[in-house]
Amino acid sequence: MAAAALVTENFKFVSLFFKSKDVMIFNGLIALGTVAGQTAFNIFAFDCPCSSGRNYLYGLAAIGVPALVFFLIGIMMNKSTWDLVSEYRLRTCRKLSGVAAFALLGTIVGRAIVAPLTWVVISLLQGQAYTCALSEFIDPSTLEGFPSNQSSEVMAKFPCQESISTELQGFWPEIERRLKYESQLIGWLLVAGMSMMVFGMLCMKRCCSPLGYQQEAYWSQYRTSEKTLFQRTAAVHARLLAAENVKSFFGFVALEKEEKEPFAESAAPICSTDWNRVTGVYLFREKNGLPLYSRLNKWAQYNLENNMEAMEKEMDVLS
């Protein structure tokens, strides 16, 4: 029972990755944007150097460097990354088990890897970068009728038709067909592997989730609504507080006509302790049979009860 509870608890993190249709739509948009970017790159920027030694490096760079950049951007843009950083900074992850931390990192990487994998797959299916990188490694003896004693320097020039002699140009279609076959085979195998991995994670998530489908959908809607309202209210609160400070300095504050009604209210500063309490990693939790869907939900519940001692203890708990 204890082992089952531990597995269920840790796989709550996995469910965060697939917690809403919005995530899947967002990932789809990222993939489409990456396809468009890759196509534009091949049309306007890709230019094989057709030189032994350089082809391989250039081809690998054309596939790998953009993928790495997309991956780092995905890591930086993921809110869970900064939740984990805040959890470590504020609470040194003392309530976060190793398995749970690994699962959370998995969800972060899973989101960030969509664009890089899309770039790599499209690059391989189009075959230009792979053909450029591997052309110099084609064995001339495997080409029927190909002149003997041809160096790798000559083979490296094949992607640039104008750089090779007329008698050798007829071999290029066979070389290109062979390399594109290898490139596309690797690309389709990568697609198959990605599909099986996503299917396995979805099955694992459905089997291990402590929530029913309807409640999980509700949790997703709650988190989306809370995030939207929190950001909107925070923007208004910051503007109210700024207006009060500007007014105290100048004696008045210049507001637009539509801004005057909201600024009739005052905004009290929020202490750093409360900011820290609602910041960090969170797992689903219940209190007296009632669900607590976020750190903010937990903070509001204990604040309503005015039980500061229990709040100090509970806000340090992830789940």
Distances (CA, A) of 299 to 81, 92, 287, 303, 313: 22, 20, 12, 6, 11
Contacting residues for 288 by C-beta, under 8 A, at least 6 apart? none
pLDDT at 188 over 90: yes
Which segment, 19-33, 46-60, 186-200, is predicted with the most confidence on average?
186-200
pLDDT at 52 over 80: yes
Return the pLDDT at 312: 66
Work out the average pLDDT over 87-104.
69
- What is the enclosing helix (H) or strand (E) of 116? helix 114-126
Work out the average pLDDT over 168-174.
81
Work out the average pLDDT over 222-251.
90
Return the pLDDT at 212: 80
d(CA 207, CA 71): 29
pLDDT at 189 over 90: yes
Return the pLDDT at 68: 93
Q: What percent of the chain has pLDDT over 70?
A: 76
Work out the average pLDDT over 85-96.
70
Which segment, 33-47, 58-72, 258-272, is predicted with the most confidence on average?
58-72
pTM comes to 0.70
d(CA 120, CA 189): 12
Sign of CA dihedral 273, 279, 284, 289: positive
Residue 172 contacts residue 143 (beta carbons within 8 Å): no
Q: How confident is the model at residue 180 (pLDDT cuts 50, 70, 90)?
A: very high
Work out the average pLDDT over 193-204.
86
Mean pLDDT of all residues belonging to the chain: 78
